[in-house]
């Protein structure tokens, strides 16, 4: 952005509204953001500090009259000067305390939004940090009524949790003219701030009113810093501050300003939500709209609800983004179809892993795995579609190859070339030659075996006609040739089944490896989220311990004891929350793994069923009068069928013997003894529950 733009404005009815143009800018920012907001009374020079943070002379409007120049909240997004891959978002807010507004609630809302949206809050005031200056910061004392951490109990005071999520606090004192001395001794600016925030002993109403805003500042903000700015130039030149050359400004003023900017650049953290979730420009825009809509409706913004709402929006977008990554890669791969199944599966695994990582990078709060499961299901559907397209491309190539190789034999068939004595032998030799050439050229095609099987079935019709017309062969020879041809067709069917099974196993192995990689990515994601939550709790605990030590040093025994109780309760809630979260995530991970494995097994069983259904379950065999199996085709059927029916010369149900058996005295079982050597290879009837 080359200049600031209004982020939050006021409508004619006085309600706040987010500007769509600003949201569109934030929507394009995928980087984490450091958000620095400045608040304070109007006409205190807030905009000048924002311009200096943007490293520009002009930008945010500087007022030269008693009117408040900035209305609403204005935004300026610039590359962060010291943190690569990060955007610095500067928020200049409407001056507080403008008598012309006539609505004190409006100022509270502006202050509340600055706190909710920023990672560093700069409070700008003039003169000194005296009691009047602290009282003018009464908006801090109203935050307990304007912000909720949890939605479960609306009446509960959860302000003790604010320190986990609130921004760091900088008090910028402008036009300071006093000496930095406390009790006659030189003091640092931070000692001066802490002295100004020092509590009084006592329980009277006046003491409590004096202490309350100071306690809120100490309690709510995890860190505090102070900068004291002397007059920048002569009073008559202040109206043109943005146009003055550095030579016209006080050296001491420029020095403090430089130190202020360096501190903000170095010490301001990336904006984070509850549970340590990093905020990008896109998320910041959604948060601004959510908070403004909530305030405009008269409700109280809730940090927990904001995280839930944001997780839904971001997780849905993360699924979409992951699918786009996967689909984009597979569409490029599609240009190379047909390919070997191993190559397609390998690229699928790689893209699936990338898509899952893309999802992980953007998603948060998907503890039940709902959105990850959605991504997986959609990727599986897309993968099946691409496998189908690859198969179709392979089938077309194989059919074209066979059509080309068989063109001569097709032409001769039309000319009746094989309709002569010895024609069958010639036809079989030509056909065998075609099959050899085809297998050598199409051996890597996924549909090679299947297409060849279909081709041979089609040619078997021509073969049968040529066989019957060949007068060179006797009837017995024709029967033998016919059985040999049937055996060859069956052998091709077996090859087709084996190829399907091999491809299925290859696919399942790819699924297994993908599942292992996905589980690894999920564990990394959960570990990272747990780490962020621990760091969040540790920062809050450090702040509370520092505050407790300060109270103890100042002799506030009663407040120290209450603080101890608060810390113990804080620890207990964190431990319980961590245990509950770890247990929930462990269960969720276990459930996701089980669901993934179940899904994989269902896919495997479904495809196995399709492969099994390729063959008949019942086969009828022919035998001679002595019960001997007649041909090789019978043996193949015996090995492949799940139910076999044997037919002898005369067959009676119920285990009766045939006529010849009755004459010879042999039983039915004796008759089938020649075939008993093959029975051990017969497959059992499949259990329907296993299919």
Phi, psi of 279 (to 5 degrees): -100, 130
Task: Please tell me which residue, 642 or 3, carries the higher pLDDT value.
Answer: 3
Residue 682 predicted with pLDDT over 60: no
Pairing of strands 87-93, 73-79: antiparallel
Q: CB–CB of 447/394 below 8 Å?
A: yes
* Average pLDDT value over all residues in the chain: 80
Give the model confidence (pLDDT) of 336-354 as tens digits: 999 998 899 889 989 998 9
- pLDDT, tens digit, for every residue of 464-515? 888 888 888 778 887 888 888 788 788 878 887 887 787 778 777 777 777 7
pLDDT at 519 over 60: yes
Place of tokens 């034999």: 409
Answer yes or no: is pLDDT of 12 > 60: yes
Q: Where residue 172 falls among pLDDT bands split at 50, 70, 90?
A: very high
Contact at 8 Å (CB) between 119 and 268?
yes
How confident is the model at residue 64, as a pLDDT? 42
DSSP state of 240: G
Indicate whether 359 pLDDT > 70: yes
pLDDT on residue 629:
44
Nearest CA-CA partner of 593 in 506, 510, 522: 522
| Beta carbons within 8 Å of 147's beta carbon, 6+ residues apart | 112, 115, 116, 162, 300, 301, 302, 303
The band of 62, judged by pLDDT with boundaries at 50, 70 and 90, is low
pLDDT tens per residue, range 175-194: 888 888 888 888 999 999 99
pLDDT > 70 fraction of the chain, expressed in percent and rounded: 78
Q: Is 175 left (phi over 0), alpha (psi -120 to 50) or beta?
A: left
The answer to whether the beta carbons of residues 26 and 282 sit under 8 Å apart is yes
**Residue 492: closest CA among 458, 463, 456:** 456
562-602, pLDDT tens digit by residue? 778 777 777 776 776 666 556 555 665 666 566 666 655 66
Dist CA 467 CA 479 (whole Å):
10
DSSP class of residue 625 equals T
- Higher-pLDDT residue of 504, 68: 504
d(CA 654, CA 364): 69
Pairwise CA distance, residues 163 & 402, whole Å: 75
pLDDT band, residue 111 (cuts 50/70/90): very high
Confidence at residue 686, expressed as pLDDT on a 0 to 100 scale: 46
Q: What is the pLDDT of residue 240?
A: 57
Q: Identify the pLDDT of residue 225.
A: 94
pLDDT of residue 154 exceeding 50, the answer is: yes
pLDDT tens-digit readout, 279-312? 999 999 999 999 999 999 999 999 888 888 899 9
Average pLDDT over residues 62-74: 61
Highest mean pLDDT: which range of 36-50, 435-449, 551-565? 435-449
Q: Is the pLDDT of residue 535 over 70?
A: yes
Kindly report each contact of residues 563-569 with a partner whose C-beta sits within 8 Å and lies 24 or more positions away, as own/partner. Answer: 566/160, 567/541, 569/160
CB proximity list for 185: less than 8 A, separation 6 or greater? none
Q: How many Cβ atoms from other residues are within 10 Å of residue 247's Cβ? A: 7
Q: Average pLDDT in the 155-167 region?
A: 80
pLDDT at 94 over 60: yes
Task: Please give the sequence-ordered ranges of beta strands (E in DSSP) within 191-336, or none if there are none.
Answer: 224-228
Residue 559 has pLDDT above 80, yes or no: no
Q: Which of 538, 531, 523, 542 is nearest to 277 (CA)?
A: 531
**Res 640 pLDDT > 70:** no
Q: 105 or 536: which carries more pLDDT confidence? A: 105
Residue 32 is predicted with a pLDDT of 95
Mean of pLDDT values over 4-29 = 92
User: Is 678's pLDDT higher than 50?
Assistant: no
With contact defined as beta carbons under 8 Å apart, do 193 and 226 qualify?
yes
Q: Name the nearest CA neighbour of 93 among 20, 16, 208, 180.
A: 16
């Amino acid at each position: 952005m080359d200049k600031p733009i209004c982020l939050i404005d006021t409508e004619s009815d006085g309600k706040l509204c987010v500007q769509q143009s600003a949201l569109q800018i934030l929507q394009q920012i995928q980087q984490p953001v450091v958000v620095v907001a400045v608040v304070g009374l109007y006409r205190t020079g807030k905009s000048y500090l924002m311009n200096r943070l943007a490293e520009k002379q002009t930008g945010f409007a500087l007022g030269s009259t008693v009117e408040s120049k900035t209305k609403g909240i204005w935004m300026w997004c610039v590359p962060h000067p010291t943190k690569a891959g990060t955007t610095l978002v500067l928020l200049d807010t409407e001056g507080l305390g403008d008598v012309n507004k006539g609505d004190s609630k409006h100022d509270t809302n502006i202050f509340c939004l600055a706190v909710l949206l920023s990672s560093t809050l700069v409070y700008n005031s003039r003169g000194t940090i005296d009691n009047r200056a602290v009282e003018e910061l009464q908006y801090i004392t109203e935050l307990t009524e304007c912000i909720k951490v949890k939605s479960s109990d609306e009446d509960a005071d959860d302000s003790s949790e604010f320190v986990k999520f609130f921004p760091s606090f900088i008090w910028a004192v402008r036009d300071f003219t006093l000496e930095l001395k406390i009790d006659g001794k030189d003091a640092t600016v931070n000692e001066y701030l802490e002295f100004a925030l020092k509590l009084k002993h006592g329980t009277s109403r006046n003491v409590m009113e004096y202490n309350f805003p100071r306690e809120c500042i100490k309690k709510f903000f995890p860190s505090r810093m102070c900068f004291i700015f002397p007059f920048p130039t002569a009073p008559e030149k202040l109206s043109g501050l943005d146009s003055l050359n550095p030579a016209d400004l006080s050296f001491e003023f420029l020095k403090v300003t430089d130190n202020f900017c360096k501190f903000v650049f170095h010490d301001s953290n990336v904006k984070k939500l509850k549970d340590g979730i990093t905020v990008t420009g896109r998320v910041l825009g959604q948060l601004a709209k959510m908070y403004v809509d909530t305030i405009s409706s008269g409700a109280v913004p809730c940090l927990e609800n904001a995280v839930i709402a944001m997780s839904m929006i971001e997780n849905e977008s993360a699924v979409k983004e992951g699918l786009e990554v996967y689909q984009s890669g597979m569409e490029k791969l599609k240009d190379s179809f047909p390919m070997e199944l191993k190559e397609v599966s390998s690229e699928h695994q790689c893209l699936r892993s990338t898509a899952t990582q893309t999802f992980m990078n953007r998603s948060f709060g998907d503890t039940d795995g709902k959105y990850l499961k959605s991504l997986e299901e959609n990727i599986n559907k897309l993968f099946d579609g691409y496998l189908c397209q690859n198969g179709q491309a392979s089938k077309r190539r194989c059919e074209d190859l066979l059509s080309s190789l068989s063109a001569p034999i097709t032409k001769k068939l039309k000319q009746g070339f094989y309709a002569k004595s010895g024609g069958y032998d010639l036809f079989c030799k030509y056909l065998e030659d075609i099959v050899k050439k085809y297998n050598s050229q199409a051996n890597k095609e996924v549909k090679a075996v299947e297409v060849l099987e279909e081709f041979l079935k089609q040619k078997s019709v021509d073969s049968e006609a040529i066989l019957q017309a060949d007068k060179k062969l006797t009837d017995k020879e024709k029967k033998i040739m016919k059985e040999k041809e049937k055996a060859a067709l069956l052998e091709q069917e077996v090859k087709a089944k084996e190829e399907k099974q091999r491809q299925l196993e290859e696919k399942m192995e790819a699924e297994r490896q993908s599942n292992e990689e996905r589980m690894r990515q999920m564990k990394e994601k959960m570990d990272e989220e747990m780490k962020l939550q621990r760091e969040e709790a540790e920062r809050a605990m450090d702040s509370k311990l520092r505050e407790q030590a300060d109270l103890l040093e100042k002799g506030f025994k009663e407040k120290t004891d209450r603080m101890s109780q608060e810390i113990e309760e804080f620890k207990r809630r964190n431990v319980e929350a961590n245990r509950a979260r770890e247990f929930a995530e462990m269960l969720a991970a276990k459930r996701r793994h089980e669901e993934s494995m179940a899904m994989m097994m269902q896919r495997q069983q479904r495809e196995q069923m399709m492969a099994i259904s390729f063959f008949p379950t019942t086969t009828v065999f022919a035998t001679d009068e002595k019960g001997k199996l007649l041909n090789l085709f019978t043996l193949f059927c015996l090995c492949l069928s799940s139910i076999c029916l044997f037919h002898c010369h005369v067959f009676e149900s119920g285990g009766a013997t045939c006529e010849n058996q009755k004459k010879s005295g042999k039983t039915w079982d004796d008759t089938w003894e020649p075939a008993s050597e093959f029975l051990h290879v017969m497959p059992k009837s499949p259990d329907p529950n296993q299919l």
